[in-house]
Chains A and B, each alone.
Chain A
Amino acid sequence: MAYQRVAIVGAGITKFVRRAQETGKELAAQASKMALESCGMTMKDIECVSLGTAPDAFDGVHMKGEYLSDGSGGWRKPYMRQFVGGGTGVFAPVHGWYHVASGMFDTCLVVCSEKMSSCHPHPQGAFKTIFDHTTEQPLNPTLIWIFALEMNRFMSTYGITKEEIALVSVKNKKNAMDHPAAQLPMEITVEDVMNSETLAWPVNRLDISPASDGAAAIVLASEHVAKRITDKPVWIDGVGWNLDSAYWATRDLYYPRYVEKAARMAYKMAGITEPQREIEIAEPYDPFDYKELHHMEGLLLADRGKAVEMLLDGKTQRDGDRPMCPSGGALGVGNPIAATGLMKIIEIFLQLRGEAGKRQVPGNPKCGLAQAWGDLMQVGTVVVMRI
């Protein structure tokens, strides 16, 4: 190992809401301030800044990274925005990781900010501009429409029912009851999910995470700096990312092989050979309820077609053998696109430190994983963390 080992030493997160009064800049500044204060640091201690934020079309601001730079603490510092669509929130720490791991910097502030509510009448409108101009946009697709195709394929491949998948939504929205930043904490039943409005069969309204405004931030430090700042650094031991073809219509949607490739890259770096045994807690990306199961399989945390059995057996509950999305996930805490993945990283950070309060899982987990996903069902980003 020739790189500097990198730790997360501080974290901050704003409340996720449907429509924040704050601008995207102000949300970024709030999260950054919280992260710095959590570890007793100031911007003077920060050598570089990595920003994650998703499409400019949400805010209608061209070069949104430039616009958000001062709110993110990037003023007169090496500051760079990175991008892998919806996978951005977990990729932002990866981007920060190689700033520090390369030896070029010892500290890095990683900020993810998303303001979706500026997009009228609904942020789904911005997603209509992600499709191929020649082959797809004339069909007038929406994002929910292609998710419906993928969910249907996943269900029909393994004979999974909508009722079974709805249990993910029930679990995550309930987990979110204990998350102070949560937008949609709810106690609901499978019937509530089944009876909610059908948007594009088989996707119902309660199968989907909400549109949100919010921001999250973490502080990364090299080993020798981290040990000075905290006695509980959480190490980023593996990072992975992978991008599949933009021609999504040409691949079989039942299995996210790009997620598997990203996971294998991260596992290799972290020296993990048996993920089902070694990864004790995970935050797979759950913008739709079936995605949690889909991603557990891609991450090799469940055998193909078997994630649903872990769900039905209660293993993925917070007090189960393999807790999944103990935060409440995108379904419960909310889904401010780029900030969601970083929220998941922060959940694993707090869980491994034993600081997750009412959300704390039993058993003092030592190794966890967060994952995000995005673009045209084509990106996987994975971070493996240890304490």
Chain B
Amino acid sequence: MRERVAIAGLGYTAFTSVSPGSSYRELTYEAAVKAYEEAGIEPKDVDSFVCTSEDMLEGYSISDEYCNDQLGAVLKPAQTIPGDFLHSLAVGVMHILTEQFDIVVVQALSKASNMKTIPDLLNFAFDPVLNRPLDVTAYALAGLEMNRFLTDGRATREQCAAVVVKNKANALKNPLAGYGASISIEHVLESEPVAEPVRLLDIAPYADGAVVMVLCSEKLAPSLTDKPVWITGIGWSTDSPTIESRDWSGAVAVRLAGDMAYRMAGITCPAREIDLAEVNDEISFKELQHLEALRLFEPGQAGRATEDGQTSPGGALPVNVSGGGLGVGHLFECSGAQKVLELVLQLRGEAGSRQVPGAGVGLAQAWRGIPTTSAAVAILSA
């Protein structure tokens, strides 16, 4: 049996559509101070720091150079992962499993409100030779993929809209969430078309925020926290980045990442063993596609389950109780961090009015967004 890794300290800002009061460095600072305070540590106690950033999202080249001052990581082992927070979390887990590190700090940030031309930016993620000259928006890809999902008979258009209704309603109970709303399926279906069948309300709106977590080894956990949350499984994977040759139907990367995490956590029947899930819902249908890829529902069943309320807070498998990307906001590389944050609060029993009773094992899943096929999954338990 491998040593377990604990989450021993949690720091975060609220997630908001704009954050004019804080620079991106100050958002991280706020989250870091809170995380260190909660774990009762100083930056000098930390063995390594793992940040999460992508140059073009930060507006810098070599963005790792600006990640460490606000974390107190000056003259410390620090690095950046251009991935989702869950990838950085995996790095932290590996550091601790080598037993060369006892305390690792993991950070992620979104300052989406600093980005003035997000659609153009996403277009820069296309193959520069073969795809970018087509000059399609990134959401056109989402439209193609959603169309495939619907024509495969995996869900109805209304079932996809029901995801939006559920998640925005969930967000109303989350004081950190920026986009809570009480809306109906009709609101979603009648919202402005972006790339048919994707409508404006199907898309997670952008948000700002930062999350910092303190991880530690099993032997150190009792001295840092009374309520450790254990990372029992973690997995990550890619599929083909090439649009022409990827599998458009099944979110293969999510399935592979999930299987890796389940294997590590010793989970053989995910649908029965997972109590709640925070999955990527950057576009409404993605929540359904990801739930099926994660084997939490049979193919074609997640939409019906959503309609029936099985994924609602009182259902058999509450999904995105926090509000998800649709309700909290799309946080770019910080998206996975918001999901892990929600699970930690739930597993500690600190989720207030949205507390899921008896939550013991949670799953967080991230996808790196259009046009990528890159995913990561973490399994947490109380």
Contact = CB atoms under 8 A, between A and B. Distances in A.
Contacts of A376: 62, 65
A54 to B, nearest CB: 7
Nearest to B59: A133
Given A65-B83, A67-B127, A67-B241, A79 B236 contact: yes
Most chain A CB neighbours (cut-off 10 Å) among B61, B62, B68, B127: B62
B99 A242 contact: no
B91 interface: yes
B61 A55 contact: yes
Given A59-B128, A69-B241, A76-B252, A243 B77 contact: yes
A67 B125 contact: yes
Given A64-B82, A82-B80, A91-B79, 11 more contacts: A54-B62, A57-B61, A61-B124, A63-B372, A83-B79, A102-B97, A243-B68, A243-B76, A374-B62, A375-B62, A378-B65
A174 interface: no
B155 interface: no
A80 B372 CA distance: 13
B98 interface: yes
B238 A243 contact: no
13 contacts: A55-B61, A61-B125, A61-B128, A63-B368, A66-B374, A80-B90, A81-B81, A84-B64, A84-B80, A102-B94, A132-B66, A265-B77, A375-B62
Contacts of A133: 59-60
Those 10 A-B pairs whose CB atoms lie nearest each other, nearest first:
A2-B99, A102-B97, A62-B124, A55-B61, A375-B65, A102-B94, A243-B78, A3-B98, A62-B125, A85-B62
A63 B82 contact: yes
B79 A241 contact: yes
Contacts of A118: 128
Contacts of B2: 103
Interface residues of B, number: 61
Contact of A244 (B75, B91, B127, B236): B75
Contacts of A101: 94, 98, 100
B80 A83 contact: yes
Interface in A230-270: 240-247, 257-258, 261-262, 265, 269
A82 B81 contact: yes
Interface of A: 2-3, 23, 54-57, 59-67, 69-70, 74-86, 91, 95, 98-99, 101-104, 118, 126-127, 129-130, 132-133, 240-247, 257-258, 261-262, 265, 269, 374-376, 378-379
Nearest to B81: A82
Contacts of A99: 94
Contacts of A102: 93-95, 97-98
Interface in B252-280: 252-253, 256-257, 260, 264
Interface of B: 2, 53-56, 59-66, 68-69, 73-83, 87, 90-91, 93-95, 97-100, 121-122, 124-125, 127-129, 235-242, 252-253, 256-257, 260, 264, 368, 372-374
A75 B61 contact: no
Contact of B253 (A76, A241, A261): A76
B241 A66 contact: yes
A114 B365 CA distance: 30
B238 A75 contact: yes
B98 A2 contact: yes
A64 to B, nearest CB: 8
A76 B256 contact: yes
B74 A129 contact: no
